[in-house]
Amino acid sequence: MSQPFLPFTRPAIDEATIAAVGEVLRSGWITSGPKVKEFEAQLSAMFGGRPVRALSSATGGMEIALSMIGVQAGDEVITTPLSWVATANVVLRAGAKPVFVDCDPRTRNIDLERIEAAITPRTRALFPVDLAGLPVDRDRLYEIARKHKLRVIEDAAQSMGASWGGKPIGSIGDLVSISFHANKNITSCEGGCLVLNNEDEARQCELWRLQGAVRRGDSWEGMDVTLPGGKHNMTDIAACIGLGQLKALKTFNERRAVLARRYFERFDRTLGCELPLADFEHSNWHMFQILLPEWAARGPFIANLRAAGIGCGVHYPAMHLFSLFRELGHRVGEFPHAERIGRATVSLPLFPAMQDGDVDRVCAAIGPALAAASTQRATA
C-alpha cells in the first residue's frame, strides 16, 4: 500500500479555532474589529509591550515601514538578493532603488561584513531578511545602522518565534514586519503585523494601513484624510485564526526543532548535499533547506521526490536574475553566493504535524532521487 503524499508544509488549525471563526462569522463583525485589537494586544505582550499593528500581509507591513521612514525616489535601500521578491518589489514601488549585497554562504543571510561597502549618501535604510527563520546577527546589524545613522526594516516574515540574545524577534530592534501566511510558523491564512517603536509610530501606521483616513469625533462630517494610505487592514476572521495559532506557537516551534534535529541525525552526508546551519539557539526552523550538489539537476530531483510521494519547495531563486532586475542592470555573476544557493536550494517537508518517520522517509528518498536526477541530466 502506497504512503500518503507528504506535502512541503501544512497548517495545523485546531477545532477550537474553527469553532471560534464560526462565532466571528455569526457575530456580523467580520472585518477589522475586536478580534484584531485582541490579536494586537497579545502580540504586543509577546514582543515586550512594543506597539503592534495587524495587517493583511507582511508585504503591507514593509510597504508601510518604507513610507513611514520617508523612503522615496532617488533613495537606496540595502537588502539581500536571496528572498521572496516582495522584499525588493516594495522598495521599487516606493520609487527607490534596492541595493543588493551578497549572502554569507554559511548563514545564507545577507553578509553583514559587505554592507558598509554598499552604503552611499543616498542610503536610507537597511532591509535584512531572516531566511528560513534564521535571524541575521542583530548585534552586528544595529552596530552598522547606528554608525551610519540608518533606519532598519527587518523582513522577519519567516522568523515568528525565533530569537536573538534570548529575546524574541520583534521585541528588539527598529521596524519589524512578520508574516502569518499559510506556510509560516503560525498562520492567519493571510496576514502579518508590523512591530513599531512607540505609539506615535503606531498611530501613523494606522493611517498608512487604511487610506490615511481619520475621524474627528463620531460624525462623518469630522472625517479627514491626511496621507495617501493603502488597504492593509486585517479582518477579524484572520485575527481569530491568529489568536488560536498564537497559543500553539511554542509547541509548534519545539516540534519543528525536534524534526530539524532528526534531519541532521538521519541525513546521509555522503550524498554531497549541503545542510543548513545547525543553529538551535536562534532559529525557529521555519524551513529545512538543503543545497544540492552542483552535478544534480534540481528539476528532475524535485520531480523524483514528488513521484515518491514527497513535496518540496524552492525558496528562493536569486531575485536579481529575474527579468525585472536584469532590466535595471543586474547580471549573472554579480552575487555568486546568492546565485549558487538560489540554483541549488530545496526546502524539504517540515511542519508540526509531521511524524518522526516522515523525516526518515524523506531522508531515505533523497539518495535515489539524486541518483535518478544525475542520470536524467546526463541523458538530457
List pLDDT tens digits, range 83-121.
Answer: 999 999 999 999 999 999 999 999 999 999 999 999 999
Q: Please indicate, yes or no, whether residues 224 and 260 belong to a single structural domain of this protein.
A: no
Domain end residue (candidates: 212, 244, 276): 244
Whole-angstrom distance, CA of residue 345 vs CA of residue 64: 31
Q: Please indicate, yes or no, whether residues 258 and 373 belong to a single structural domain of this protein.
A: yes
pLDDT at residue number 380 = 46
Q: Please indicate, yes or no, whether residues 236 and 257 belong to a single structural domain of this protein.
A: no
- Does 9 reside within a domain? no
- Does 4 reside within a domain? no
SS3 content of the chain, % helix, strand, coil (to 5): 45, 15, 40
List pLDDT tens digits, range 320-336.
Answer: 999 999 999 999 999 99
Q: Please indicate, yes or no, whether residues 227 and 108 belong to a single structural domain of this protein.
A: yes
- Does 3 reside within a domain? no
Query: Rounded to two decimals, what is the model's pTM?
Result: 0.95
Give the domain range for residue 333. 249-379
Active site members:
184
pLDDT at residue number 198 = 98
Whole-angstrom distance, CA of residue 271 vs CA of residue 294: 12
Whole-angstrom distance, CA of residue 224 vs CA of residue 215: 6
- Does 5 reside within a domain? no
- Does 312 reside within a domain? yes
Name the pLDDT band for 374 (thresholds 50, 70, 90): confident
Domains contained in the chain, number? 2
Is the pLDDT at 192 greater than 90? The verdict is: yes
List pLDDT tens digits, range 295-305.
Answer: 999 999 999 99
**Residue that the C-alpha cell 493571510 belongs to:** 190
Q: Please indicate, yes or no, whether residues 233 and 296 belong to a single structural domain of this protein.
A: no
CATH at 307: 3.90.1150.10
Q: Please indicate, yes or no, whether residues 288 and 358 belong to a single structural domain of this protein.
A: yes
Mean pLDDT of the chain: 96
Q: Please indicate, yes or no, whether residues 205 and 260 belong to a single structural domain of this protein.
A: no
Q: Please indicate, yes or no, whether residues 375 and 266 belong to a single structural domain of this protein.
A: yes
What mean pLDDT comes out for the span 220-242?
93
